[in-house]
Amino acid sequence: MQTLLTSRKERVASSRRLVEERKRKSAKKMVWFLGFKGPSGFSARSTAEEVTQGVDGSSLVAIVTGASSGIGTETARVLALRGVHVFMAVRNVDAGKNVKDAIIKDNPTAKVDVMELDLTSKSSVRKFASDYKSLNLPLNILINNAGVMATPYLLSEDGIELQFATNHIGHFLLTDLLLEKMKTTAHKSKVEGRIVNVSSEAHKLTYKEGILFDKLNDQSRYGSWAAYGQSKLANILHAAELSRHLKEEGANITANSLHPGVIATNLLRHHGLFSSIAQVINRFTMKSVQQGAATTCYVALNPQMQGVTGKYFADSNEAESSMLAKDTELAKKLWEFSMELIQ
């Protein structure tokens, strides 16, 4: 009973914090959400194709995690449409191959490959990184897109709370293992590398501490939405701290995070009734998949993003994250904590 009461109190507190954060958003943000263009020239209604119009990515190579469904599929399709050689890093290889075939059917010149990656498993992440590096190809863009949302309490095979393991630790390790490849590519090609973490506005729904460092796997503290918010907060803090490291090193690589928007994708698969309702009202209140992938593609490819790093985006414009997401000490602590977990 105490656990239920604690969980209920956390949900109420999280909801209140989200309302307060929303109140602080500027009127301009609401204007471009409603379809008017923001400073970038794009809005919430812009599509991934629109924000990359005219971009020539034929010299670039990108990895997109979770590219077998949802906005990951659209991100891979649009990058390939712009000439980028896309590696789809997916858990379900058969599903990935079906997506690849569909992309090539519509765009016969598309360069798309499928590789297996299970972000819940550190050994799988290490194998993926090793296999990719053995190809002796450059790497310009890394899009950490894959994720799970509000799952029941579960642990990964490495004994880490599943949402944190999948959404943050798997991507943290993948980025760490591929970073030297990206640095070498950027140095040799003189082309800026870009690392993109797909986060969420739900980062504002995290636990009041932000990250439960000492009680990460404590089932009595677990709240499915708070844990999701925690993992999404970690995505933003990761990008911010990584950006700081890269700037200190003078590496020609940027790192940013983003909120793709509210989209009725299979992330909602653990919430049957809500998913059904969402599908019905999707066309009225939610973004399409084409719109949902826009901010990712904008941050990854648009020339306006040249030299922009350590920022948070939504609707293809710079956006306001929570105070916790701007906490540099929290970012440093998370970095050290994550480094220990990937050993």
Encode pLDDT of 307-318 as tens digits: 999 999 999 999
- In the DSSP assignment, the letter for residue 86 is E
- Give me 235's structure tokens: 């995505």
For residue 212, give the amino acid letter. L
Greatest C-alpha distance within the chain: 60
pLDDT score of 4: 47
Contact 258, 200 (CB under 8 A): no
Confidence of residue 333 (pLDDT cuts 50, 70, 90): very high
Is the pLDDT reported for residue 17 higher than 80? no
Is the pLDDT reported for residue 249 higher than 90? yes
Is the pLDDT reported for residue 49 higher than 80? yes
pLDDT score of 19: 54
Is the pLDDT reported for residue 326 higher than 50? yes
* Mean per-residue pLDDT, 123-137: 98
Give one word for 88, left, alpha or beta, with left for phi > 0 and alpha for psi -120 to 50: beta
pLDDT tens-digit map of 272-306:
554 555 455 445 568 999 999 999 999 999 999 99
pLDDT score of 40: 98
pLDDT score of 18: 55
pLDDT tens-digit map of 173-197:
999 999 999 999 999 999 999 999 9
Which residues carry out catalysis?
A: 222
Confidence of residue 36 (pLDDT cuts 50, 70, 90): confident
Confidence of residue 5 (pLDDT cuts 50, 70, 90): very low
Is the pLDDT reported for residue 203 higher than 90? yes
Instruction: Say how far apart CA 89 and CA 84 lie, in whole Å.
Output: 15
Between residues 288 and 263, the one the model is more confident about: 288
pLDDT score of 31: 46
CA distances from 250 to 65, 141, 253 (A): 26, 18, 9
* Mean per-residue pLDDT, 140-157: 98
How far out from the chain centre does Cα 192 lie? 19
Phi, psi torsion values for 142, nearest 5 degrees: -125, 115
Owner of token pair 């590496």: 251
Q: Which of 104-108, 264-268, 326-330 has the lowest mean pLDDT?
A: 264-268
